Amino acid sequence: MSCAHPWETVGSVSTLTPGVLPLDVRDVVFEYVPGTRVLDSWSAQFEAGSVTALTGPSGRGKSTLLYLLGLMLRPRSGSILVDGNDVTRLADAQLAHLRAERFGFVFQDAALDPSRSILDNVTETALYRGQSRRSVTPRALDLLTRFGVDIPPKRKPGQVSGGQAQRIALCRALLAHPKILLADEPTGNLDPATTTLVVDALRDHARNGAAVIIVTHSPEVAAACDRELRL
């Protein structure tokens, strides 16, 4: 799965330090309920330029792991390193700043702001990271068209389907060129042609220097990634 996209050559992810991993997970233990471990001494390294598929049976902890990787949950023990720095004990505000600077999220709830238009939702992270409105707006519209979100961009997110909301979140993430992109079932509700478009876009994003990590139940999508980690 590969093809050229208009946004492929526009911008790039944050400056990379050669040899430093964007994400390095070491011996992470996590439990929601004391004594019931969802992750038990789990370790993995995620390189820039690579797409990793997280797969495995329902309830095995894939989404939980994605929330840990996205610094939205804290491990009970073990470490998570971002760009070689242990972030496990940072304060909440520092973690929020790191998330905004470094991460892109395409999660099932999409996390769109219902009070703002679809276009504003797509551009907000790129604008926060210092890109100009003039440069990001045409690309935002290109992305929405490319991923088949054929609705007026001035409309509010409350008027779109769940699958459209997730693709809007994908457009928002790609537009901001995050160094680490995390996606939970990004192709879950999509037809085969749109699935190919989304997987190609995630692969292109990785080729531009990002670490991309996706949860998927689809063997075809997992096979199109650079590696598969099974939980």
Ligand X SMILES: Nc1ncnc2c1ncn2[C@@H]1O[C@H](COP(=O)(O)OP(=O)(O)OP(=O)(O)O)[C@@H](O)[C@H]1O
Q: Where on the chain is the footprint of ligand X (CB under 6 A)? A: 32, 38, 58-64
Q: What is the DSSP letter of 157?
A: G
Closest distance of CB 216 from ligand X, Å: 10
In Å, how far from its chain's centre is CA 231? Answer: 19
Closest distance of CB 113 from ligand X, Å: 23
Measured from the CB atom, is 38 or 160 closer to ligand X?
38
Q: How far is CA 158 from CA 42, 107, 113, 168, in A?
A: 38, 16, 9, 12
Measured from the CB atom, is 125 or 195 closer to ligand X?
195
Question: What's the CA gap between 207 and 59, in Å, rounded?
Answer: 31
Measured from the CB atom, is 32 or 192 closer to ligand X?
32
Closest distance of CB 127 from ligand X, Å: 32
- 33 phi/psi in degrees, rounded to 5: -110, 125
Tokens standing for 88? 């496990």
Measured from the CB atom, is 70 or 153 closer to ligand X?
70
- 4 by Cβ neighbours in 10 Å (0-12 / 13-18 / 19+) ranks as exposed
Closest distance of CB 41 from ligand X, Å: 16
Measured from the CB atom, is 25 or 174 closer to ligand X?
25
Cβ density class 132-149: b for 16+ within 10 Å, e for less: eeeebbebbbbbbebbeb
Question: What's the CA gap between 89 and 155, in Å, rounded?
Answer: 40
Closest distance of CB 69 from ligand X, Å: 12
Measured from the CB atom, is 58 or 132 closer to ligand X?
58
